[in-house]
Amino acid sequence: MVLPGRLSEKKGITFLNDKVAWLEERLEKYPDPIPFEDGRVVPFLGEPLTIRHKDAKRADVRRDKDQLIVTAPQARLSKAVRDWYKREAGCEITILAKQKSTMLDRPYGRLTIRDTRSRWGSCSANGNLNFSWRVVMAPNYVLDYLVAHEVAHLVEMNHSASFWNIVEQLSNDFNKGRKWLRLNGHELHRYGLEASARDERESE
Ligand SMILES: [Zn+2]
């Protein structure tokens, strides 16, 4: 925030606090959401997939090279795609988490996939791991870094130098992954965010 010279920092912060709800609302709306619908291009492990929708009574999603074939009633198309992402995220992340926790000889508790808005992943004090399904849209090395980060918290519940040493042991490209998230992470929140998805997410 830039303040005019004669305004005190305290007044500036009060002003900012008054506007938090408004700011959040603006940020939420910008940039444009990319709904899950026929013809849309969506990322999966950093590769573009084109959604091909076929109307049908029952929902089924499968990947065919660079296409995501979704057979579902129109009303369930978006949810079907989100559910597919969640399943894929679960598979990819579980493989990495098992591999990395074995490297450290530290088992984790439960692994859950959610639509977390504020964090890409977390590790609880009792060793449960939690990830946003959206990270499976990012390239492999981003996923690799994120899982390394949360698994390293099984040993170090902080962001100290020794924590980062463990992350480095667990991930080949952790700096590249971190940087990608810093630069592009917000983009992942654009996908599948039509009004109905929002309502549903809030009630989850
Ligand atoms: Zn952390």
Instruction: List where CATH 3.30.2010.10 sits in the chain.
Output: 76-203
| Dist CA 39 CA 176 (whole Å) | 31
How many angstroms is it from 157 CA to the middle of ligand 1? 8
Please provide the CATH number assigned to the domain covering 76-203: 3.30.2010.10
* Nearest alpha carbon to residue 86 among 140, 136, 145: 136
Reply yes or no: is the peptide bond before residue 31 cis, omega within 30 of 0.
yes
Q: If the chain, 204 residues long, is cut into consecutive pieces of 10 residues, what is the mean pLDDT of each piece?
A: 72 79 66 92 98 94 97 95 97 98 97 91 97 98 98 97 98 96 94 60 44
Residue 118: what pLDDT? 83
pTM: 0.81
Q: Yes or no: say if 156 and 162 are a contact pair by the CB < 8 Å rule.
A: yes
How many angstroms is it from 196 CA to the middle of ligand 1? 31
